[in-house]
Amino acid sequence: MFVKNAWYVAASWDEVSRKPLGRVLLGEPVVLYRKEDGTAMALEDRCCHRRAPLHRGEVIGDALQCGYHGFTFDETGACIKIPGMTTPPKTAKIKSYRVVERHKWIWIWMGSAAPGMGEATPDESMIPDFHQNDHPKWASARGYIPLAANYLLYVDNLLDLSHVGFVHRDVIGSDDADAELKFERHESVVQGVRQSPDMAPPPLYKKLGIGETVRQKKIMTFTPASHIAIDITTSEVLAGGKVGREAHIFVLNSITPERENTCHYFWASARDFDTANEQMTELVHRETLRAFIQDKDMVEAQQKVIDLDPEAAIVSVRADSGGLLARRVVADALQKESAGASISN
C-alpha cells in the first residue's frame, strides 16, 4: 500500500512532450503529455473501452486519442469523441490527475477516491522546496534511474550515510565511521545531522580541488512521502585548524513507487560554487551517477535477498534511526489517509 494523498515526481520536465509518455506510478498506469500551450497533463493510461494503453495513441489539439479505436479524451478524462457515435456515453471517462511543474520536475497528486482511503485536496505547499535544481545561483546535474527494489529501501539508503565509505569508496567515500549523528522528527519531517571530523577528502572532492584535509557536515531532510534533501558542506582544514574554502552541494532525491518492489528514482546534485564551469558540472554528473549506480546495484541485490525470506530477522543500530523514523512517518500517513486526511509538514 502506498500513500496516495501526497505529491510525487512523475517525470523530469524534459521527458514530457506532445508525444504521450506512459509510466506506472503507485501501481497505477499514468500517461503524461503537454497541451498546445505547453501545460503538462496526466491521465489514466488505460482506455475505458478495451483498456488499451493511451500512451500508444497521440495528442490531438489538447485532447488524447487512443491508438486502438480512436476514443478521444479531454484533460478532465471525459471521452469527447467516439468514431461512429454522435454522443459518447457519460460512463466513458478515465481518471485525471493534478500535476504541477516545479524545480525541473513534473509533480503529480495521486489522491485516491477508493472506498476507505479518503480524498484530499492537493496542497501545492506540500511540494518540497527543491529550488536548487533550477535556481540561477546553483549549477545542477540531474538524472533518472529505474530501481528494482521497494522505494523504502532507497529511503533507508539515503538516510543512513554510513554506507558511503564502503559502497562509494572510489567516488564519494570517506573514512568517517566516527561521525557524530543525530536525527529528530518534527511532525512529518525527519531531519538528521552527520558531522565528520578531519579526514582525507573523498575522491570526487580531490577532483574538485578541495584541500588535503576536510571536514564534512551533512544535513538530511526527509519529507513525505519519499523525498530527501542532503545538504553537504565540505570545508578545507588549514594549518592550525583554520577553515579554508568550502564546497556547498545539495543532493536532491525523490523516489516514486512504481510497483511494490520497483520504483523511479529522480535525483539532482546542485552546487553554489564555480557555477559557470560546464566541465565541472559534467564531472559532478558523471561521478554522482557512478555513485547512484553503485547504490542501485546494492539495493537491488538487497531486495533479492529480502524476497527469499521477508520475515528473516534484522538488527537495527544507531545509523538506522533516520530510516526508521521515516518509515514511521509513512505508516502514520497511511493511517491518517484511511481516516480521509492528507499528510502535512
Q: What is the CA radius of gyration of the chain?
A: 22
- As given in the structure block, the three cell numbers for residue 94 are 478515465
Question: Which CATH number fits the domain 131-338, given the four candidates 3.40.50.300, 3.40.1710.10, 3.40.50.620, 3.90.380.10?
Answer: 3.90.380.10
- What is the residue-averaged pLDDT of the chain? 93
**Bigger pLDDT: 117 or 128?**
128
Q: Is cis: bond before 225, omega within 30 of 0?
A: yes
- For residues 122 and 42, which has the higher predicted lDDT (pLDDT)? 42
pLDDT at position 93, please?
97
pLDDT of residue 340: 66
Question: What is the reported pLDDT for 6?
Answer: 94
Q: What angle do CA 38, 40, 46 make, to 5 degrees?
A: 130
Helix (H, G, I), strand (E, B) or coil at 10: strand
* Assigned C-alpha cell, 316: 537495527
C-alpha cell of 172? 564519494
Q: Would you list the DSSP string of 2-40?
A: ---SSEEEEEEGGG-SSS-EEEEETTEEEEEEE-TTS-E
Of residues 51 and 345, more confidence is placed in 51
- Taking a C-beta distance cutoff of 8 angstroms, is the pair 181, 51 a contact? no
pLDDT for residue 231: 98
- Domain 7-124 matches domain 131-338 at the CATH topology level: no
Q: Is the pLDDT of residue 116 over 70?
A: no
C-alpha cell at 68: 486502438
Angle at 52 between CA 46 and CA 53, to 5 degrees: 60
Q: pLDDT digits over 56-109, tens only?
A: 999 999 999 999 999 999 999 999 999 999 999 999 999 999 999 999 999 999
Residue with cell 538516510: 159
Q: DSSP 3-state assignment of 131? A: helix
For the segment 271-292, the average pLDDT, to the nearest whole number, is 95
- Residue position matching grid coordinates 521527458: 15
CA distance 323 to 332: 14
CA distance 301 to 149: 9
For the chain, which residues make up each domain, given as ranges?
7-124, 131-338
Closest residue by Cα to residue 265 from 253, 247, 251 = 253
Q: What angle, 0 to 180 degrees and rounded to 10, lies between the N-to-C axes of helices 151-159 and 321-338? A: 140
Q: Has this prediction a pTM greater than 0.85?
A: yes
Name 247's bridge partners: 234
pLDDT band at 119 (very low <50, low <70, confident <90, very high): low
Block residue for cell numbers 544535513: 219
pLDDT value of residue 120? 64
Least confident window among 121-125, 130-134, 178-182, 315-319: 121-125
| CATH class label, 7-124 | mainly beta
pLDDT digits (tens, 9 = 90+) for 160-184: 999 999 999 999 888 787 899 999 9
Q: Angle formed by the axes of helices 278-308 and 151-159, to 10°?
A: 120
* DSSP reduced 3-state for 224: coil
Instruction: Please say if the pLDDT value at position 115 is more than 50.
Output: no
* Contact in structure between 229 and 101 (CB atoms under 8 Å): no
Cite the DSSP H helix spans in the chain.
Answer: 151-159, 164-167, 203-207, 278-308, 321-338
pLDDT at position 211 over 90: no
